[in-house]
Every structure is written in structure tokens, then in C-alpha cells.
Amino acid sequence: MATKSRNHQFRHIAVGGTILISATLAFAQQTNSAPFDTMRCIDTYEADQAKFLARTKALADQGKLPAPMKDAKDKEIRELYSKQFFPNVGKQGNDAANKKWCDDRVMDLRGRTAALDAPPPPPVAPPAQIVAPSAAPGASGVQGASSSPTQLRSVNVPNAFIRHQQGIGRLTPLASDLDKKDASFLIRPGLAGAGVSFESANFSGHYLRHQNGQIRLGRADNNVLFKKDASFHQRPGLAGKGTSFESVNFPGAYLRHCRGMIFIDDAKGRNKACSADPAVAKQDASFDLITTQSAVPTAPQSKPAIQAGPPAVPAPVRPVTPPAPVAAAPAPLSPEAYRQCMTDGSAIFQAGQKQFNSQTRREQDKNEWRNKEGAYFNAQEQFRGQQYQSICDKYKSTATTAKDFAFRVK
């Protein structure tokens, strides 16, 4: 009877400061098969979970991952453990199925860890920009509203601009044409009926708004909260120069950059993700407004000296080449199309993962699979932030690449 029963062993497991009482299941060895070691499975998973949490902490300490995003990712991983992994470990019917299930969960966790490290864009200096003079805002708070694309350049970080990237507000140099488009906004009268709002120049109908203290790019709707979150009063720069933008529904909180991200924060720097030095906070919350269609002014020319002789023949006037038409910004996928793409990509990748795990692999092949797996989860994360057809195609292509490798490698 002892070999057929399930013996419960209890121990305390520390997960992110929270003590979970976990029950591990010991199973008897089955005929002609190696016994599944439940404890070893749990220990392996917990070790990889600790690596994930250590990596998010390291990225946050380096300023590459804002505190709200770190907390969200850590919470997701802990819930995977407590709600999905632990309640089902060792309950797949037989030792072979238990081992396969455990391996899949561990590989999924390792893929999520690999996806944390997205390669940064190369630091290429942008071309010189001309700062348009800004007038002091009036009582209505809508002075400066313009139909011309405008960029917001930090007054204390040279050549760094507010831009959207994967749906998140960031402060980066403008290294490419895409960077410049992502950093261009149409300043509209505030959606909340006060202040101004920033509509993306390359994603029509999408506005910068704050959400849980962080600036994101969202599609405008009739939601009252969205309209308030996307409206800001234009104020004289807190740094004594430039312009600052105060939240309409959080008085005293201003658009502010820190650690390469954009938040709202009060003038005293109370956002825990940013410096608490009030002087730094005021500098971080001040921006120069740059009109991207402004022509570069030329230096005034002196009058030519009068010379004797016949008048000079004027040069022929060359026809002006009209600018190339600007392509319309792509529309985001519908919720149904987004879910279908996410399902298709996941099915492709899981087929490859099942094939790869079905055979014993060489260590070099395992390392290459981890790279393919990391690229897949990275593409999936990007698609969650940018729900467009081109990103969907990239996501499914990355899944297909991983699947093809799994079926090709021997």
C-alpha cells in the first residue's frame, strides 16, 4: 500500500518575501520507468524563478526597467508559480507525462527570463534641431496648440526626446526616421476640455496618457478617465526654462523623465522610481518645444557692394519638387484579429517546443533553442504593446523560425 499512496511532505518556500506553505507529492516508482522526482522539479523551477526575479531587480537598478513594470512582471511570475505550476506539479497521470509537463514549465520560465533583455537601439546622434520660441501659456491652458508636428526635447539631457515605443513613453535620442516619427506629436486642445493633449503624428487618434503613474500611448475613446489622463496644463518650465506640463486630474504632478522612461511626478520628486532631489525633478520635468517643420534660419546677409559694370545676369529659377506624399499611419488590429494572431503564433511555437522536448538534445542545440525561445517571447511582448499587422507578422515569423529549428536539428 505504501508504494501506491501519495505521501504529503510540507515545507516553507520563500517567494519574493512572501512565505508560501507548499505541499510536495512523492510518487512511487512505476514499472519499467524512471520515477518522477517532484522535489527536483520544484527545486529547478524555483531556482529559475529566482533568476528571473534577480534579473528584473538588476534591470531596475540599472534604470532599464521602471519600478511599476518590474513589480508587474514579478507579480506575474509569482502567480504563475502559486496558481498554475505548484497546484499541478506531479499530477499529470504518469512519470513520463509529469516530466514532460515540468520541462515545458521550466523552459517557458527561462524564455521569459531571456526576453527581459531586449537589445537597446544604437546611440546615434540626431541631426541638429531648431527650437521654436514658446510663448507663456494663457489662462485657458491651450496656448501652443498646433496642427504642425511638435517634439518635446529634454532641457537637461542633450538631444533626448519624448517618444512612444511599444506603447510606452520613453526618452531617447532620435537615431532613425522611425524614432523621429515616434517623437512627433500634434498638440491638440485638451480632451478633457482643459489644457492640451498630445496626439501621435504617426498613429492618428492615439494620445499620450498617464496610467498608474507611467506615460503610455493609448487610442482615444469616450472614456472620461482617458480624456483626463491625456490632458495637461501648459506651464512655464519648472527649471526656469522651457515648458512643463501639469496633469489636469492630478494637480501638482508633471510630465517627467527618469531612467529613460516618462512618468508623472510632483515637483518634489516623490515618485519612487525617480530621483527624490527637487532640483533634479524640476529639470526632468522641463522640455523645449520643437516644431519639426520649421525651416533652418539663415544668417542675415549684408548688402552687396555697388560695383561698376554691367548688371549681373540672374540665375535661372529651378522648379520646386513637391514633397513625396506621406503614407497614412496603419490602423491597429481589431481585438478579434489581435487574439487570433496571438493564438496562431502561440500554436506554432508550442508545436516546435513539443518537438524539441521530445528527444534528447546536445547542449549546443539546447543553447540555440534558448536563443530562439527568448526571441519568440521578446516578439510576443512587443506585439502586446504594438497591436499592428506588421508586428503580428514579425511575431508569427519568430515562432515559425523556432519551430523550423526544432524540426530540423537532430
Max intra-chain CA distance, the chain:
121
Has residue 86 got a pLDDT over 60? Answer: yes
Q: Out of 310-324, 347-361, 368-382, which region has the weakest mean confidence (pLDDT)?
A: 310-324
Confidence label for 213 from pLDDT (cuts 50, 70 and 90): confident
Has residue 140 got a pLDDT over 60? Answer: no
Confidence label for 322 from pLDDT (cuts 50, 70 and 90): low
Backbone angles phi, psi at 264, to 5 degrees: -110, 140
Read off the C-alpha cell for 231.
490632458
- State residue 136's pLDDT score: 36
**Average pLDDT estimate for 340-344:** 90
- State residue 304's pLDDT score: 43
Burial of 394 (0-12, 13-18, 19+ CB in 10 A): middle
How many Å apart are CA 261 and CA 63, to the nearest integer?
9
Has residue 22 got a pLDDT over 50? Answer: no
- State residue 139's pLDDT score: 32
Number of H helices, E strands in the chain: 10, 14
Confidence label for 67 from pLDDT (cuts 50, 70 and 90): confident
Has residue 248 got a pLDDT over 90? Answer: yes
Confidence label for 363 from pLDDT (cuts 50, 70 and 90): confident
- State residue 255's pLDDT score: 93
How many Å apart are CA 148 and CA 292, to the nearest integer?
8
Q: What is the pTM of this model?
A: 0.41
Within 115-232, residue ranges assigned H as helices are 177-182, 224-229
- State residue 331's pLDDT score: 77
- State residue 171's pLDDT score: 92
